[in-house]
Homo-oligomer: A and B are copies of this chain.
Amino acid sequence: MVNFKGKHILSGKQFNREEIEHILKVASDLREELKSRPSLDLTRGNILATLFFEPSTRTRLSFESAMLRLGGSVIGFAEASTSSTAKGESLEDTILTVCQYADVIAMRHPQIGSAERASRVATVPILNGGDGAGQHPTQALLDILTIKTEKGAIDGLTVALVGDLKNGRTVHALVELLKHYQVEMIFVAPQELRMPPEITESLKSFGVKIKETDTLSSALKEADIVYMTRVQKERFSDPSEYEKLKDAFILNRAMVEQGKAGITILHPLPRVTEISTDVDSLPGAAYFRQVRNGLYVRMALIALVLGKI
């Protein structure tokens, strides 16, 4: 029996398929409930603290809106400069302090493992909103909710993951959830930014079918889902290499129209240039619906760890 009451949400790796399905079910139910009214009364009187040691407007506002739409309240900070950290306080002491004020904490921090460190001292549930190059489980859950919502089911799909697969935190988290489903993955990346072999091997040993390519257009012909991420110039040791490659990793309308019919396009956002705005009006452009699903997933997690569902 799945029960998240009092649990910390630290990593996509902590969930089995049953738990993922439960979260998606709760998120979908909340989406239905919000169709008839703007907010619920599930967490009335409870307080969420959003501790953003590293700024992220999108993630912070999503957590805050989630708590408000559940009927609760929010305190917090948007950047470390206004926090006690600037006075030399340890992360553990900050967490122990905020546990006296709030019923649940959503945090983002630049250091890998920080959410896990926080969870070791916390007396209220910690929701990891990103710990440096580490985990970002709510992003992975909203990605998978979007796939399920757009396609009806996840089993049987071919998912292309595109861009910087070497450093991409969201991509690494997403494959950890996707591996619990019968999906085929296509990794589309420049040679220098390929998915780390240990991840590819681990997925294969889990039974996942994987293809690797550096050609986006060919992947688009096979994929049901294309998950775009950015290829950053700074990641290349040889800038001329970047110049050669960059256009091949920008998705535009013409490329989509030559791809598989009904293809769904996702992106963790913010985007800079990696998806042309002429893609936005295509029916398969799901990245802003994906943002909305982030709200439902975070509502689900907050309600679940507070034991309200």
Interface on A for B, CB 8 Å cutoff? 37-39, 44-47, 49, 52, 55-58, 61-62, 64-65, 68-69, 71, 73-79, 81-84, 86-89, 92-94, 96-103, 269-272, 277, 288, 291-292, 294-295
Q: Which residue of B lies closest to A56 (CB)?
A: B84
| Beyond A57-B82, A65-B101, A97-B270, 9 additional pairs, beta carbon < 8 A | A57-B77, A58-B97, A62-B101, A65-B102, A68-B75, A88-B270, A89-B270, A96-B288, A97-B269
Q: Are A84 and B58 in contact (CB under 8 A)?
A: yes
Q: Is the CB of A79 within 8 A of B82?
A: yes
Q: Which B residues lie within 8 Å of A61 (CB)?
A: 49, 75-77, 98, 101
With CB as the reference atom, state the residue of chain B lying closest to A96: B288
Take A79-B81, A81-B79 as given contacts and tell me if A88 and B272 are in contact as well, using a CB distance cutoff of 8 Å: yes
Once the chains are docked, how many angstroms separate the CA of A77 from the CA of B82?
A: 10
Q: Is the CB of A37 within 8 A of B47?
A: no
Measured CB to CB, the closest approach of chain B to A146, in angstroms, equals: 12
Minimum distance in angstroms from A282 CB to a CB of chain B = 15
A-B contact pairs, 9 of them (CB 8 A): A38-B46, A47-B65, A56-B84, A61-B75, A68-B73, A93-B271, A97-B270, A100-B291, A101-B295
